[in-house]
Structure 1
Amino acid sequence: MEIKLDKHSANEASIKINLNEADYQPKVDSKLKEHAKKANIKGFRPGKAPVSMVKNLYGTSVLVDEINNILSSSLNDFIKKQEFRILGEPLPVVEDADAIDWKNQKDFEFEYRIGFVEEVDITLDNSIEATAYTLEVDEKVVEDAITNIRTQYGKMTNPEISEENDFLYGDFKAADGSFTKTLSLPLSKIDGRSIKKFIGVKKGDSIDLDPSKAIKGSLSELLDISEEEAANLTGAFVFEVQNINRTELAEFNEDFFEKVFGPENVKTEEEFKTKVTEILSENYNKETKVYTEEQIKDLLVAKAKVDLPETFLKEWLSKANDKVSQQDIDKEFPLYAKQLTWSLVSNKIAKDNDIKAEHEDVVEKTQEMVREQLASSGLGAQMEDQMDMFVNNYLEGNEGQNYMQMLTAVQNDKVLALVKEKITIQEEKISMDKFKELLAN
């Protein structure tokens, strides 16, 4: 057997594997003898058919299988010995394979195309500068959050006369009778120019409107219809009020504090406000942390200047995902390239600094994720005693892919923690509006 590497460029090459009869025939003969012992061929007792007949029946398929096994193991072993990092999977040159005469040919040559990168070069020092943002939670954001919480825990009432922010329950009808829908209409969805019509109404009243002008936002979502249907709802409509629903804000009292934050955690309105501010600040700054780390990744990816084999990778992605169009691959490739490059950079930093993701780290990170999910669903601490079950089920799911994803996430966390120690980080406080501007750019 002979294996040769031919580099076509800085990041693409071909691997040629030449096999002669001595490389594969002993294994083929051995396999055919095994087949002969088990073969059930008409006219012969089981296992008594001549090897020559078995070879005539199964010889080609056995030859193909054994050569494929040799190629797979030889190619993998050869690649493992190289210093470069192969990307994607080797692509066989199909034209050569189609020309093989399996019946008569003795010597075979197979060719594979590969994409790779040489050693990734990245140096961490204080010349790399990044900004870590901290969000200032302003008074209005806090007050809006408190109002939302009080609304969630508030009491539903049915007043006689409607006011702003009420819900009107009734029938939404086209004047010509072509459309009717019964729904609960939030007055917050009514345009400012039309809101006066909906305030001060009572049960049994009818309100004339043009939905294309009176309703803010998505009419299709409000009415649970398609965009095409919603586009046709113009002109004269009427809303017939059957009931008025209002949520009275929950009062600041011990019962309310306990429902929101549990017993003994908050006792006064001021403490409640402080707690809400802390939670908002924590949640917002999780977002700024993610943003900062993405900026750091971008800086390191740019600094590493990894030359990816773009043409090869696009071809490999196309063959590996035959249901994805080439147009979609071209569109998504920049994001894929960024993620791939960061993976190479992260692995290089981890290797140079002996950073490893341990099993205990994976379990701990998964626990954090599960706790956040439980908290967001309102379950929280009462499910803590089942944490091990949730964690194990997740990590064992998706055929082990979940575990590998968490392992990668842990390594990334450790790599980024080291990077932040090595580079220059400038701290800056910004408003939510300013942060939204950063996200939009």
Structure 2
Amino acid sequence: MEITLNKTDDLNGVINVNVTPDDYQEKVDKVLKDYRKKANIPGFRPGKVPMGYVKKMYGKAILVDEINKMLSESLVDYLKKEELNILGEPLPSQDSESIDFDNQKEFDFKFDVAFAPEFEVKLSKREKLNYYVLKPDEKLIDDTINNYAYQNGENVQVDEITEKEETLKGDIVQLDADNNPLEDGIKKENGLMSLQVMKDEDIKKQFEGKKVGDAVDFDLKKAYPNDTEIASLLEISKEDAAKVEGNFRITINEINKFTPAEVNQELYDKIYGEGTVTSDEQFREKIVEEIKENFKYQSEYKFMLDAKEKLIKKLDLDLPDEFLKRWLDATNKELTKEQIEEEYDKFKEDMQWQLIVDKIYKDNDFKVEESEVMDYAKESTRQQFMQYGLSYIPDEQLENYAKEIASKPEERRKILDKLAENKAVEFIKESVKVEEKEVSLDEFNNFFK
């Protein structure tokens, strides 16, 4: 098999593959013999089918299959051996001549390929990038303190409903049309009901000023239009909850009011450990540190976006656009040609950025250690759990989840790509002049609109 490359310009080329019977005949004959042994054809005993008949039935299909396998393997080996930095994958050439597998013995195949552009990444302290840091205002600090107070608050029993946000425990019974307990109706002893999530304001007003021992008749379906809430309140199925209608009566056994924790030394100690914070001033300073740290990810992400924009504009890498559009069309069947045209500029920017990241990574001999992969997988897992309100995950459990993620080839590739990008961005940060700028939360959020 002879493989040659003809570069048509700096970014495009054609790979020519010449295939002769010496390349494929032995493999084709071997497969035909296997078919003959296994073929179950009426009129012939197993293994006794004439070879001529087998060739007539299966010969062309086997020939095409074997040549396609050879082409795929040979192209991969050739690209590795020649160390060609191609974009996408080889595509059958648009000007290839038709192949006649019935009559030809020797075949010529052509594949279009696209090459990554040659370039250097040169940076200096004369170039500037901003690094945005959140400057918490008084409102954000106060909101964070209030959140801590609520997180550490507790329900306290009170004698009277005053705020219409209390939770009640009481005996609930279904009523008939005359507002008398319905015989064989739904009953729930000591049911737990929240006024805060009640939807109807007029019904809420009925509870204002009520005390333990008082009874209130109300339309349950109007108060809680959600069947799931009714099913939970009455401990019945969702199907039965959907059929509920008319009034219910609750006789109040207990009234609980949620009370945020007081902002004092007890709260400081509970959050940061005993004696770490001893004054309101220290507490606010600690809150500011936390807010800034929590926004560090957004700061890094914004810096990456700005670095990406700056280097793409600075280097202005030329890409083989027509080839890449063909490649996108061939490998993304869910995209139409119109969609590819519409989204191509964004794809091109991402491709340029990936080439820049790869160049920085290789030129500086960066390496991603296995410990970095595991640390990243752990942090990703921790963030996912936090989204569901689970702030504490045992280290052993976190380790197991991280190992499972890192063992999946696709997930591992994503982690390696992200860590490579992080190293490239860190290199950019060290190579240019970085000016730190404080911005408000609104300004920060506007960056991502």
Please state which band the TM-score falls in when normalised by the shorter chain. 0.7 to 0.9
Whichever residue aligns with residue 142 of structure 1, its letter is: I
- Cα distance per residue 1:36-62 (max 9 Å; x no partner): 344344444433333323222221121
Q: TM-score, normalised by structure 2?
A: 0.72
Number of the residue aligned with 1:63: 63
Which residue, out of 422, 430, 449, partners 1:413? 422
Number of the residue aligned with 1:202: 205
Which residue, out of 328, 341, 358, partners 2:369? 358
Partner of 2:109: helix, strand, or coil? Answer: strand
Runs of 5+ unmatched residues, structure 1: 170-182, 190-197, 206-222, 225-241
* Distance in 2 separating the partners of 1:281 and 1:411: 25
Partner of 2:5: helix, strand, or coil? Answer: strand
* Distance in 2 separating the partners of 1:396 and 1:83: 28
Partner of 1:111: helix, strand, or coil? Answer: strand
Q: Percent sequence identity over matched residues?
A: 34
Whichever residue aligns with residue 120 of structure 2, its letter is: D
- CA shift at 1:203, angstroms? 2.3
Number of the residue aligned with 1:141: 140
* Distance in 2 separating the partners of 1:403 and 1:70: 30
* Distance in 1 separating the partners of 2:435 and 2:279: 37
Partner of 1:137: helix, strand, or coil? Answer: coil
* Distance in 2 separating the partners of 1:144 and 1:55: 80
Question: Do the aligned residues in 2 keep the contact of 1:160 with 1:202 (CA within 8 Å)?
Answer: no
- Cα distance per residue 1:8-62 (max 9 Å; x no partner): 4442333232323333223222332333344344444433333323222221121
1:415-430 counterparts in 2 under 5 A?
415-430=424-439
* Distance in 1 separating the partners of 2:267 and 2:51: 86
Question: Do the aligned residues in 2 keep the contact of 1:16 with 1:112 (CA within 8 Å)?
Answer: yes
Number of the residue aligned with 2:221: none
Task: Name whichever of 74-83 and 336-345 sits farther off.
Answer: 74-83
* Distance in 2 separating the partners of 1:307 and 1:22: 41
Number of the residue aligned with 2:215: none
Runs of 5+ unmatched residues, structure 2: 169-193, 209-224, 227-249
Partner of 2:262: helix, strand, or coil? Answer: coil
- CA shift at 1:152, angstroms? 4.1
Question: Do the aligned residues in 2 keep the contact of 1:6 with 1:15 (CA within 8 Å)?
Answer: yes
* Distance in 2 separating the partners of 1:100 and 1:53: 24
Partner of 1:88: helix, strand, or coil? Answer: strand
Cα root mean square deviation, aligned: 3.8
* Distance in 2 separating the partners of 1:127 and 1:268: 45
Whichever residue aligns with residue 293 of structure 2, its letter is: E
- CA shift at 1:143, angstroms? 0.4
C-alpha spacing 1:263/1:310, structure 2 compared with 1 (3 Å): farther
Partner of 2:131: helix, strand, or coil? Answer: strand
Number of the residue aligned with 1:12: 12
Number of the residue aligned with 1:335: 346
Partner of 2:325: helix, strand, or coil? Answer: helix
Partner of 1:16: helix, strand, or coil? Answer: strand
1:183-202 counterparts in 2 under 5 A?
202=205
* Distance in 1 separating the partners of 2:273 and 2:67: 68
C-alpha spacing 1:307/1:168, structure 2 compared with 1 (3 Å): farther
Question: Do the aligned residues in 2 keep the contact of 1:83 with 1:118 (CA within 8 Å)?
Answer: no
Task: Name whichever of 304-313 and 259-268 sits farther off.
Answer: 259-268
* Distance in 1 separating the partners of 2:336 and 2:357: 30
- Cα distance per residue 1:390-412 (max 9 Å; x no partner): 11111123xx1111111112222
- CA shift at 1:68, angstroms? 0.5
Which residue, out of 286, 296, 299, partners 1:275? 286
